Amino acid sequence: MNFTCSMCFKSSVTSEQNNLKRTQKQVHRMSQEIDRQISMCKKMEVNCLKLLLLGTGESGKSTLLKQMKIIHINGFSTKEKLDYIPIIKQNIRDVILSILGGMKTLQLDFIQSRTADVVKSLIEKSLADNYTYPETFFDEVYEIWSDPGVQRAYTRANEFQLFDSATYFMRRFDVIRKPDYIPTDQDILRCRKMTDSITELQFDIPTGRKSSVHFRIIDVSGQRGARKKWIQFFDNVTAILYLVDCSSFDQTLIEDHRQNRLIDSLEVFEQAWSNKYLRKVPMIVFLNKIDLLEEKICNGHRADNLHKLAETWLQSAKSSRYKSLNVNLSKKISSSQKSTSSQKIDSISPNEKHILLTNPLQCTNSLSSASVEFNQINRKFSHTLGDTSINEHPLNNDKWTDQTQINKRFSSVYSLHSSIRLNQCSEYCTVLSIPCKPASSGMSSRVSCTTVIARLIADLPYRDFKPTAQQRTEFLTCLLPTTKSFKHYHDNVNSHRKKCINLDKYIHADDDGEMTKQFNQQHKFIVTHPETIRTACYIKHLFEELTKRTTTAYYKNRTCLFYYTCAVNTNTMNHILQGCQRFLIQDHLERYGLI
């Protein structure tokens, strides 16, 4: 009996030991598998370059993504091209609708009497769901387009919202209306479809060492409402590709008709450049749409208005400084003032009380004038602020624009319990009841950023800017299709330069423009006007100065490259992307300590 129990006990112990060994082996195998997957992920991370396309709306991000697909993934299939046909036809419809809206804005009328009836018919039919764009659609579009009043509005397209490819598609109108029409790569590149979702493109680039580098390109929407989503893609990003529409210097945003597009692009760039999560991430700025810039320059448009906009903003900001809140700790408040203050507090509407007591910084943007006199709002509040008069404290002074500092200094005004604070404040302050006006379009950080950009443009006016020979050379290097073509042009420039005593005289000489024109005709170069080079160099100069002014020791080793681009030109984009790829691969390998 005892022997049997002993045997059972031994077998039970042996079984538990075997189970423990099997469990240990399983855990060991799982650990090895996890280590193997981690190692594979590290290898994939080393071989993968994550690029984020940033920029304001209609800056050319989606066009650049299409170019990468054409260059690196053998372009678009026949099925994909056929899928673009209704989008292209819709672009033609949108061109007409945009011009009609512009005519209303500019108060222009149709010249032909029949045009109004055709417009009514077109709008009723083309805005319907599942519209197939029959032949009658193109007949109506042609009749509307032929009206002299429509053409007059088209020549003033910079005064309303008309997308960039309008001219291209109207020139291709007879081709697009054919029943057997198949879009070309250029048609797809010019096609406009607003990005309202995340678009991703992946491809491999051979390195010449029996290996390849995997590129992952992410395109996000550039409209104001979608920019808050950008931060979720900042993790493990290799580089930022930032696109700028150089031709937008005289246009406004679709979502805000008061904001200049180029100034908005400068603001967004400054925010991305100063972002702490991107302090080690290099940025490549594509100064895009040089072809449209050339078209505007030839039509007589200039970038002089930027300086006027900047001066207007600064003067407006100066005239409205601290009209809403005037703090004076030196003056004692009598008991009679305390009693009247409570009555004046009660006379203010709840909306005004909320603005006054909840966010002092918003108060500066929302109130036209006010006077608040404090003796000692809280016994713990012992800061000496002094007199914050209009002439002493600028709008973007660090002491006042920092939200945290304001919350500390106005700890009794900025409250989590408004009702309690309201009773406390009414005992110690005198408030003048004033009407409220709507807040400005941006928050405090945006107001401060706009001031920085306005001062930058005011300090560097376009009328005083003259591009150097090096800046002109960099411009031509980016846009010429091949290095050999640029060398031929550069040799002609050098031979002509020897005849010039003054370099500045050479840069702006008429014969230099004539030589550029002759070279453009020979090599089919897109730029013919010397003022185009000057404007493009000026825009680049603004972005360069912005990186210098906002760079601190924390960002001193950060890299920012600039390229002049025409995203719809495959030859020049292929040339530029090759240079970007070499830089990105080298920077990526250096970051991982592999070179």
pLDDT tens digit string along 86-99? 999 999 999 999 99
Classify 526 as helix, strand or coil.
Answer: coil
- Asked whether residue 58 is marked as a ligand-binding residue, the answer is yes
Three-state SS string over 474-490 comes to HHHHHHCCCHHHHHHHH
Does residue 237 contact residue 51 with C-beta atoms inside 8 Å? Answer: yes
DSSP state for residue 391 in the 8-state scheme: T
Q: What is the mean pLDDT of the segment spanning 271-279?
A: 83
Count CB neighbours of 172 within 10 A: 19
Give strand pairing partners of 285. Answer: 242, 562
- Asked whether residue 194 is marked as a ligand-binding residue, the answer is yes
The second-level CATH assignment, the architecture, of 85-182 is: Orthogonal Bundle (1.10)
| 357 confidence band (pLDDT: 50, 70, 90) | very low
- Under 8 Å CB-to-CB from 549, ≥6 apart: which residues? 452, 456
pLDDT higher at 65 or 365: 65
CATH of domain 205-304+462-591: 3.40.50.300
Three-state SS string over 433-453 comes to CCCECCCCCCCHHHHHHHHHH
Q: What is the mean pLDDT of the segment spanning 555-580?
A: 85
Count CB neighbours of 218 within 10 A: 19
Q: Distance between CA 293 and CA 288 in Å, rounded?
A: 9
Among 133, 198, 193, 134, smallest CA distance to 165 is for: 193
- Asked whether residue 260 is marked as a ligand-binding residue, the answer is no
Report the half-sphere exposure of 450 (CA within 13 A, side-chain side): 23
For the chain, give every domain's residue range: 85-182, 205-304+462-591, 319-445
Does residue 147 contact residue 119 with C-beta atoms inside 8 Å? Answer: no
The rounded mean pLDDT for the chain is 71
pLDDT for 187: 95
- Asked whether residue 31 is marked as a ligand-binding residue, the answer is no
Quick one: what percent of the chain has pLDDT higher than 70? Answer: 60
pLDDT tens digit string along 169-223? 999 999 999 999 999 999 999 998 876 677 888 888 877 666 778 888 888 875 6
Does residue 404 contact residue 456 with C-beta atoms inside 8 Å? Answer: no
- Asked whether residue 191 is marked as a ligand-binding residue, the answer is yes
Angle at 281 between CA 275 and CA 286, to 5 degrees: 90
Strands 372-374 vs 283-288: parallel, antiparallel or unpaired: unpaired
pLDDT at 328 over 50: no
Q: What is the pTM of this model?
A: 0.67
> What amino acid positions are annotated as catalytic residues?
58, 63, 192, 219, 223
Does residue 118 contact residue 100 with C-beta atoms inside 8 Å? Answer: no
The length of the chain, given as a count of residues? 595
Instruction: Output the six-digit token pair for 238.
Output: 């290799």
pLDDT for 365: 33
H/E stretch holding 586 reads helix 570-591
| 226 confidence band (pLDDT: 50, 70, 90) | low
Q: Where are the alpha helices (DSSP H) in 73-184?
A: 78-83, 85-106, 115-126, 135-145, 148-154, 166-171, 173-176
H/E stretch holding 429 reads strand 429-431
pLDDT for 581: 82
The sheet that has 239-245: what strands, in order across it? 199-206, 212-219, 48-55, 239-245, 283-288, 560-564
pLDDT for 79: 93
Quick one: what percent of the chain has pLDDT higher than 90? Answer: 26
Q: Distance between CA 448 and CA 400 in Å, rounded?
A: 10
pLDDT at 555 over 90: no
- Asked whether residue 158 is marked as a ligand-binding residue, the answer is no
Q: What is the mean pLDDT of the segment spanning 150-160?
A: 89
